[in-house]
Chains A and B, each alone.
Chain A
Amino acid sequence: MSKSIVISARGLTIRRGSRDVLRQLEFELSAGGITALVGPSGCGKTTLMRSVVGLQKITGGSLTVLGAPAGTASLRSRIGYAPQGTSAYLDLTVLENVRYFAACVGADRDDIDRVVADVDLASSAHQLTGSLSGGQRSRVSLAIALLGSPDLLVLDEPTVGLDPLLREQLWQLFADLASTGVTLIVSSHVMDEAERCQDVLLMRDGRVLAQQNPAVLKERTATTNLDEAFLRLVRDDEAEVAA
Chain B
Amino acid sequence: MTALAGTGPLVRLCLRRDRLKLLIYVLVVGAIPIGMAAAYKVLYPTAAGLQAFADLSMSTPATVGMLGLIYAPTVGALTAWRAGLNGMFFIAPVSILLIVRYTRAEEAVGRRELLGGSVVGRQAPLTAALIVVCAVDLLLGVFIAAGLISLGLSAAGAVVMGLSAAAAGWVFAALAAVTAQLTVSPGPARGMALVMFALSWLVRAVGDLGRAQGLAWLSWLSPLGWVRLTRAFADEQWWVFVLFVALGAALAAMAYALSARRDLAAGILPVPVGPAEAAPALNSPRALAWRLHRGGLLGWSVAAAGFGLLLGIVGVSMAGFVDAPQMQAWAQRMGAHDAGDAFLFLTMFVLGQVISVYAILAALRLRSEEVEGRAEAVLATAVSRLRWALSHVTIAALGPAVLLIVLGLTIGLGYGLTAHNLVQDSPRLLHRTLLTLPAIWVVAGIAVALYGWLPRRAAALTWAAFAVFLALELGWELQQVSQSLFNISPFAHVHWSIQVTAAPLLGLTALAAVLAAIGLLGLQRRDVG
- Whether A and B are associated in the same complex: the answer reads no
